[in-house]
Amino acid sequence: MSSVCPYAHAAVVQPDPCADYLALKEAPPVHWDEVLGIWFITGTEQVGELIRHPALSSAWPERGRTVLHDPADEVNSHGRTADSVRRWFMFDDGTRHRALRGLVAPLFSAGRLALLRPFVEEQADDLLARRHGRIEVMADLAVPLSSRVICRVLGLPSDTAPRLEGWAQDIAALLVADYLPEVSRRGDLALSQIEHAVATALESPDLPPDSGLAVLRKARESGEAEEADISAVAGLIVYAGFETTSTFIGKAVRSVLHAGAWRELRSADPAVAVEELLRFDTSVRQVARVATAPVTLEGQRIEAGDLVLLMLGAANRDPGVFTDPDTLRLDRRIKKHLAFGQGQHYCLGAGLARMEARIVIEKISRAWRDVRLVEPPTTKLHFGIPVLERLELELS
């Protein structure tokens, strides 16, 4: 089976980013990159095993350095990224992870999402009503919708929403390219600005009592969370809740257009279609782990201290699991995929992301009989991180 993205050579669009990680499938599912000094795991079964393995720790910002990091760098010898990021509970495997995750998990429960749904639909309707004839999917829909929703969940004022995109992009770069001084500077600035916005909102008499920040403030007062955890958890929700959802909405629309599947989308079950779109080109391509003890898999020995990249995007295209995986089938009924990870670090906001995406898919597929790309989608590199920047459509 070909490992080349079937839409990469379409004359109307640029090569799809899926071509990047599909190339990894040419190598064994567990292989060592000699240049970067990193393990790449691409098979569905292998990713599924290691993502839950007790010897693979999510605390890579504290322990995982690459050949790109200067071993003589005393400033960053204490760990990667930033102090606030290393406090994110997604980078902790123990009781602290469970405690902090448990504090905010109710914000993403089925009941809370049901209460939030009218707000999401109202915002989507508002954004779509402003567009007649043309729409730029990222700037006009995906970015403002996701930022407004996350501000609502946390209790940040609505005028904070336009700042989330810049913060998220600089933090995304910090997570992978912290060896670059400019990336560290911008990432630290974004985190400090989030901290300031959070501190200001916490002091506001208008803070909604059922908001995420109100929950965190109560935990701080009761001693369940430390002061530094408040801005750290809020920063994680701002980054993960906004960036992954806005990116996925844009990628979902792009994938449908690449596949020439707009008519199928109009008749598809939105819930089924969203799962296939998540599998086909998820917004989170990879997650990192660091080995705390030797692990043997597929005849390869991962040593303690080795950095491991679990390639979720490639695993979601595994031909041993998915029939004709490089073809988008909006009626494909998937039992499970890896877009949100697995195990104790399964994405806390998966339900929210699904809800936003389903609402958008349902509204645009019903409202627009047909769409046409005005120009090829634009992807920019933000310090090496690909960002879907522009996706302009002509509507009918």
Give the Cα separation of 205 and 162 in Å (integer).
22
Dump pLDDT digits (tens) for 50-59.
Answer: 999 999 999 9
Residue 159 to residue 157: CA distance in whole angstroms: 6
Instruction: Name the amino acid, one letter, at 333.
Output: R
**What is the predicted pLDDT for the residue at 15?**
55
Cβ-contact 275, 252 below 8 angstroms: no
Task: Supply the pLDDT for residue 315.
Answer: 93
Both structure tokens of 358: 């389903």
Write down the CATH number for the domain with range 18-27+36-70+77-395.
1.10.630.10
Q: CA angle, 67 as apex, 346 and 40 as ends, to 5°?
A: 40
**What is d(CA 172, CA 155) in angstroms, rounded to the nearest whole number?**
23
Helix 164-177 × helix 181-202 angle, to 10°: 140
Residues with Cβ within 8 Å of 318's Cβ and at least 6 positions away in sequence, in order, are 25, 42, 43, 44, 45, 325
Helix orientation angle between 95-104 and 212-222, rounded to the nearest 10 degrees: 130
Question: In which residue are the tokens 């040593």 written?
Answer: 303
* Model pLDDT, residue 17: 53
What pTM value is reported for the model? 0.90
Q: Please list the pLDDT of the chain residue by residue as tens digits (396 residues).
A: 233 444 444 444 445 556 666 777 778 999 999 888 899 999 999 999 999 999 999 998 876 666 555 555 544 445 677 888 999 999 999 999 999 999 999 999 999 999 999 999 999 999 999 888 899 999 999 999 999 999 999 999 999 999 999 999 999 999 888 888 899 999 999 999 999 999 999 999 999 999 999 999 999 999 999 989 999 999 999 999 998 899 999 999 999 998 899 999 999 999 999 999 999 998 888 999 999 999 999 999 999 999 999 999 999 999 999 999 989 999 999 988 999 999 999 999 999 999 999 999 999 999 888 899 998 888 887 776 778 889 999 987
Domain layout of the chain by residue ranges: 18-27+36-70+77-395
* Per-residue pLDDT at 43: 93
Q: Alpha carbon of 391 to those of 116, 129, 173, 315, 359: distances in Å?
A: 27, 18, 22, 26, 19
Which pLDDT score, from 0 to 100, does residue 378 have? Answer: 86
Q: Which of 208, 117, 114 shows the shortest CA–CA distance to 158? A: 208
Determine phi and psi for 210, rounding to 5 degrees: -105, 10
CB 48: neighbour CB atoms within 10 A?
19
> What are 47's two structure tokens?
């990713």
Q: What is the pLDDT of residue 65?
A: 61
